[in-house]
């Protein structure tokens, strides 16, 4: 006899993703495009909440909605949770305290792992949406001890990325090729200025579509949020054979 266990309103997914309420395009490879995954995901949108509300202003109503969204995903059957912006890492501990399932707010959680396997004379290059939003305190929160192990470059001065992602406006267009070129340029600049960099970590979830191009161009490992999502899914998946 084969018994099915119930208790949830919907089934067939293990990964729930909390999304900021953004309107810019999300190509395949972006966490906000369901085609980026080889398995079903469930999206919970923080309606009316922008990145600024949580990252720069820390509005109470935004934080409350973030917490409630995590609880809702757990309640409806998610086995693990991710968020759509790596800079939400500042809420990692908070979310981990209010739910009982694994939660990963950022690809920055890869840092201790990379730090452990990287030769001691090499460095990690982090490409972020906004370099001003990542402090040493944020990196300590994810378990990084030696700050000299990382070099951080931001995309905030890249014209097309800034226009499409950081300051989007109607008609909400994204020039995929130009943003890819800007991302490659930042990656090359990292390696030219810091010869010890031998791994790239993409903090920004909107840069994941360009991971493959970075690997080809720079010939070094590149980590992103889609890899993190796949890891979280595979460790909690009870529905499909991977």
Query: What pLDDT does residue 238 have?
Result: 63
SS3 86: helix
Query: What pLDDT does residue 242 have?
Result: 47
Query: What pLDDT does residue 237 have?
Result: 75
Query: What pLDDT does residue 239 have?
Result: 59
Instruction: For residues 91 and 65, give the distance between their C-alpha atoms in angstroms, rounded to a whole number.
Output: 12
Point out which residues pair with 124 in neighbouring strands.
Answer: 150, 199
∠143-147-148 over CA atoms, to 5°?
A: 140
Grouped pLDDT means (10 residues each) for the chain, 242 residues = 81 94 96 96 97 93 98 96 96 97 97 95 96 91 91 97 95 97 98 96 98 97 97 80 51
Other CB atoms within a 10 A radius of the CB of residue 37 amount to 17
Length of the chain in residues, anyone?
Answer: 242
Domains defined along the chain, listed by start: 15-105+228-236 (3.40.50.1860), 107-223 (3.40.50.1860)
The first and second tokens of residue 3, run together, are 């018994």
Going by C-alpha positions, the residue among 185, 177, 180, 187 that lies closest to residue 152 is: 187
């Amino acid at each position: 006899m084969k018994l099915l266990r119930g208790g949830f309103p919907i089934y067939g997914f293990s990964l729930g993703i909390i999304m900021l309420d953004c309107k810019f395009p999300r190509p395949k490879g972006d966490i906000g495009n369901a085609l980026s995954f080889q398995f079903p995901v469930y999206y919970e949108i923080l309606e009316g909440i922008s990145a600024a509300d949580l990252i720069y202003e820390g509005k109470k109503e935004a934080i409350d909605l973030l917490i409630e969204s995590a609880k809702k995903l757990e309640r409806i059957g998610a086995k693990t949770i991710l968020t759509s912006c790596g800079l939400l890492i500042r809420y990692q501990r908070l979310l981990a305290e209010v739910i009982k399932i694994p939660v990963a707010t950022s690809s920055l959680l890869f840092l201790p792992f990379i730090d452990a396997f990287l030769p001691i004379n090499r460095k990690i290059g982090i490409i972020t949406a906004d370099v001003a939003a990542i402090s040493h305190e944020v990196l300590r929160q994810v378990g990084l001890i030696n700050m000299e192990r990382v070099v951080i470059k931001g995309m905030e001065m890249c014209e097309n990325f800034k226009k499409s992602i950081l300051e989007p406006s109607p008609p909400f267009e994204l020039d995929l090729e130009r943003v890819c070129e800007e991302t490659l340029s930042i990656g090359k600049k990292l390696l030219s200025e810091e010869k010890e960099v031998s791994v790239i970590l993409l903090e920004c979830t909107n840069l994941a579509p360009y991971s493959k191009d970075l690997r080809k161009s720079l010939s070094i490992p590149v980590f992103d949020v889609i890899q993190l999502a796949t890891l979280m899914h595979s460790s909690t998946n009870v529905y499909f054979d991977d």
